[in-house]
Amino acid sequence: TIYRPKDASLSPLSSKTILFAGYGNQARSQALNLRDTLASNPDISAPKILIANRVDSYHETAIADGFSVTGFAEGAKGADVVFLLVPDQVAPTLYNSEIGPNLKTGALVVVASGFNIFYKRLEVEGVDVGMIAPRMIGAGVRSRFLEGEGFPCFVSVENNSSGRALEMVLSLALGVGGLSAGAVECSARDETLMDLFAEQAIWPSIIVAFREAYSTLKKLGCSDEALVHEMWLSKEPAEVFEKCAEDGFISQLKYHSIVSQYGQLSTSLGMDVTALQEFFKKVAEKRILGGEFTKEFTDIDNKGGGNGMEKKLEELYAAASTSELAIGEKRVRERMGLD
């Protein structure tokens, strides 16, 4: 199902209290979009929009934007809707200790990512749960709204204690501008699977393909300068993906030469993909759906009094910087004055 503005109305939001927990990338854009949508629809009795944030710079920004700012527990007490828009690794502790216990029965919790719902990290019994998950960074959510274009978005209902959750989720999605480009119905499970699969299977395969291609061609005499320009500095890969979105994943091949079209089609159709298929299946079924990845991530993150991931990422960046690609690129960028 693809939901469009005609499938929703703002009236279910009449006189409700809507709390945005957090005022970062997504929260600020969505709160501003909602306020603008309501301002241009004065026929409904405007809901109250509140922001909950720690007292710091985001708190200041929310006040400068003209919102009332409150604490998480206090804000949750009177809220009919809570947009839970803090980082996914922070949300369980914050929600389970301060927000959830203070919500009234039948309130609606809206997440922007399926992760904590699919892995049951939020204690959400007795409340409605919906997902409005923009497929775009917060800055894009705001700029596309202002340009009247809308942004790609997934929506779902995950808990429907009240029986009215879908109507409310669509109403809120309409308000934040998530229906203008057509919102795709997609469950928290599928959103989590696709998101983590892209991060742990598709992009790593691309990173490895580039890294190994670099070493293979370097051994055959190609220079760092030529390789870096040929492979990505020219922005050709970015343009190809742009054409995939505009013209279609396969149809965009027609922009390439006949030599290139034949090379790409015949090789991709003829490749032995058994190892890749096994790797993909393992990532999807064991690491993501089987929960191996979240356990590993949480265990690492909990080490060293909660900053284990920071340390682990430092180690991983250090390891990634030793490849021929990384060393070659560093040299080229320095010589070209790009860094």
Binding site for ligand NDP (CB under 6 A): 22-27, 53-54, 56, 58, 85-88, 90, 94, 112-113, 133-134, 137-138
CA geometry: angle 123, 124, 130, nearest 5 deg = 135
What is the bridge-based pairing of β-strands 17-21 and 108-111? unpaired
In the complex, minimum distance from the CB of residue 255 to ligand NDP, in angstroms, rounded to a whole number: 29
| Comparison of 90 and 320: residue with beta carbon closer to ligand NDP | 90
Q: How far is CA 54 from CA 58, 62, 73, 75, 192, in A?
A: 8, 11, 11, 12, 28
Q: Is-contact 192 118, C-beta < 8 A?
A: yes
In the complex, minimum distance from the CB of residue 246 to ligand NDP, in angstroms, rounded to a whole number: 22
Coil vs helix vs strand at 26: helix
Tell me, what DSSP letter sits at residue 11?
A: G
Q: In angstroms, rounded to a whole number, what is the distance separating the alpha carbons of residues 265 and 37?
A: 47
In the complex, minimum distance from the CB of residue 178 to ligand NDP, in angstroms, rounded to a whole number: 11
In the complex, minimum distance from the CB of residue 112 to ligand NDP, in angstroms, rounded to a whole number: 3
| Comparison of 71 and 126: residue with beta carbon closer to ligand NDP | 71
In the complex, minimum distance from the CB of residue 83 to ligand NDP, in angstroms, rounded to a whole number: 9
| Comparison of 30 and 171: residue with beta carbon closer to ligand NDP | 30
In the complex, minimum distance from the CB of residue 43 to ligand NDP, in angstroms, rounded to a whole number: 30
| Comparison of 26 and 294: residue with beta carbon closer to ligand NDP | 26
In the complex, minimum distance from the CB of residue 151 to ligand NDP, in angstroms, rounded to a whole number: 10
Coil vs helix vs strand at 241: helix
Residue that has been written with the tokens 């497929």 in this structure? 135
| Comparison of 87 and 248: residue with beta carbon closer to ligand NDP | 87
DSSP H helical segments within the chain, as ranges?
A: 25-39, 57-64, 72-77, 91-94, 115-118, 138-146, 165-175, 188-197, 203-219, 224-228, 236-247, 258-270, 274-282, 292-306, 308-320, 324-335
| Comparison of 191 and 329: residue with beta carbon closer to ligand NDP | 191
Q: Is-contact 23 61, C-beta < 8 A?
A: yes
| Comparison of 112 and 169: residue with beta carbon closer to ligand NDP | 112
Q: Is-contact 184 155, C-beta < 8 A?
A: yes
Tell me, what DSSP letter sits at residue 163?
A: S
In the complex, minimum distance from the CB of residue 56 to ligand NDP, in angstroms, rounded to a whole number: 5
Q: In angstroms, rounded to a whole number, what is the distance separating the alpha carbons of residues 205 and 210?
A: 9
Report which residue's Cβ sits closest to ligand NDP: 24
| Comparison of 25 and 180: residue with beta carbon closer to ligand NDP | 25
